[in-house]
Structure 1
Amino acid sequence: MAALVAIVCVGACSRALAFDDKVFDDKTGVKPQSSPWAVFQFGFSAYKSGHKDQAVEAYKYAAENGQIGATWKLARMYAEGDGVARDDYEAYKFFSEIADQDVEPGSPEESYVSDALVALGDYLKTGIPGTPVVADEVRAQEYFMRAAANYRNPTAQYEMGKMFLKGEGGVKKSIKQAGRWLQLAAEKGHAGAQATLGNLLFQSGKVVRGLTMMTVALARATPVDQSWIRGMQEEAFAVAGEADRRTAISLADDIIAKGANE
């Protein structure tokens, strides 16, 4: 997704002033018959310069005229309350529009669809209070599976791993299937998957490798995930032998220094 945004930025930022008077008027908004792609680029430029009200109007025009990237930006803005009042149901509707697109794996729009599928899965795990979107683990699993299998999204692969681990979302509990999905996500550097897979390995008797993976995951995790990963890692370290702990720490330090995945 960062690559897609960077591509847009190069085009938008270099020609922002030119687009300003061609596609947008401060009083009337987006000019009729404007190019959707040009309006999308203008919206990105307006967003980056802090004019998020103009960005929203530009994105809506571009989205209504087929720009998936604009629809994704709107979804993210509503989901995060970024420049607009947070509205998860509005975000859900925009993400649904993206998920309905027939986008082939490897296409330029792949990342938008992949991210939208994961977002929809997250919403459906708990539902959105006060809206028609109710908790539905089976539908959530279907969105995660589509993102995991078709687009190789590591977050979706991690979610599938957890579902197989617990037997949730309409799938039968399977440690083997859980390990397969967690391994795929871990290979892409997903800290949560690395920690969960590491704990599975530790519990199965592969002590050093499990401790190593959990230690690497803790070092790379975001602040949101560090708490539960640290608890898991410390619990495992507490029952491991001294020699295994030392070996795991040494291996983890080497992996982290090289920037590799375990």
Structure 2
Amino acid sequence: MGAEAYSVGDLQSALNAFQYAASKGHAIAQWKLGKMYASGDGVPEDDYMAFQMFSRIADQHADDNPYTPSARVVADAFVNLATYYKNGIAKAGIKPDVGRAVDLFTHAATYFGDASAQYNLARIYLDGDGVQPDPGRAARWLSLAARKNHVAAQATLGQMLIYGDGVRPMPEKGYMWLLVARENAGPEDRDWILALDHRASQILTPEQKTAAAGLAEKWLTKGTE
């Protein structure tokens, strides 16, 4: 009922239905409420309420079967909850806790195989955000996310491999990932990925770019390297 009301723009009826279902432990309703509160969609924006919804899912569904349709919702709840822990919620008195964020991202990344969690872990280890920087570990997480067609992971991994940022340089493979990311990018990612592509194309040889283009075409047509 909530989903139907939401689809036709009746946000109050949707909210009522979601709240009722969420109170009965329905994970998808809890997740939808969390997203609504996080973005102020039909309700006043309230990060703490969103935090509570995502926390309930993490507490009650951490060990759900990762191959069920609802698993993607549970994994996304973990990612959202981890992001709140990483950044904190000042108005609610919740201080940043990067250690807890890493634990939550790791569970979503490993148990559920979530690409967004894998990318977020990579960024933490790349930036040294509350942890010891570890480019090698970051590259491994980026590779997993890139293979799931996570565009930002593809572009970031490509940049690392082209320039050897903390890893062994692999220019052809790196540029392949940049080309794949450019092809997959939506409007929100296109500009920064095109900027990376332009910069890289200035330093690579024609032979390297030709080899990378062949690898990218193979990936895009067959999903393999």
TM range (shorter): 0.7 to 0.9
Q: 1:261 to 1:197 in 2, by over 3 A?
A: farther
Choose the corresponding residue for 1:249, options 198, 213, 220. 213
Choose the corresponding residue for 2:71, options 89, 102, 110. 110
Choose the corresponding residue for 1:212, options 167, 170, 176. 176
Q: Percent identity?
A: 37
The 10-residue stretch of structure 1 (216-225 or 245-254) with the greater mean CA deviation from structure 2: 245-254
Deviations 1:108-157 (A, max 9, x none): 53222210110112222322332222222222212111111111100101
Residue correspondence of structure 1 range 129-148 to structure 2 within 5 A: 129-148=90-109
Q: Does 1:199 align with 2:159?
A: yes
Question: Contact between 1:188 and 1:261, CA under 8 Å: does it hold in 2?
Answer: no
CA distance, structure 2, for counterparts of residue 165 and residue 133 of structure 1: 25
The TM-score, its normalising length taken from structure 2, stands at 0.87
Q: Does 1:80 align with 2:36?
A: no
CA distance, structure 2, for counterparts of residue 58 and residue 209 of structure 1: 49
Choose the corresponding residue for 1:178, options 125, 132, 138. 138
Q: 1:136 to 1:229 in 2, by over 3 A?
A: farther
The TM-score, its normalising length taken from structure 1, stands at 0.76
Larger radius of gyration: 1
CA distance, structure 2, for counterparts of residue 127 and residue 259 of structure 1: 41
CA distance, structure 2, for counterparts of residue 132 and residue 224 of structure 1: 32
Q: Does 1:238 align with 2:194?
A: no
Question: Contact between 1:71 and 1:95, CA under 8 Å: does it hold in 2?
Answer: yes
Displacement of 1:254: 4.8
Q: Does 1:71 align with 2:38?
A: no
Question: Contact between 1:141 and 1:169, CA under 8 Å: does it hold in 2?
Answer: no
Displacement of 1:259: 6.2
Amino acid at match of 1:47: Y
SS of equivalent to 2:41? coil
Question: Contact between 1:195 and 1:214, CA under 8 Å: does it hold in 2?
Answer: yes
CA distance, structure 1, for counterparts of residue 77 and residue 180 of structure 2: 28
Q: CA RMSD in A?
A: 2.0
- Number of residue pairs matched by the alignment: 219
Amino acid at match of 1:238: Q
Choose the corresponding residue for 1:150, options 82, 102, 111. 111
Amino acid at match of 1:87: D
The 10-residue stretch of structure 1 (132-141 or 42-51) with the greater mean CA deviation from structure 2: 132-141
In the alignment, structure 1 segments of 5+ residues that lack a partner are 1-41
Residue correspondence of structure 1 range 26-105 to structure 2 within 5 A: 42-102=1-61, 103-105=63-65
The 10-residue stretch of structure 1 (186-195 or 156-165) with the greater mean CA deviation from structure 2: 156-165
In the alignment, structure 2 segments of 5+ residues that lack a partner are none
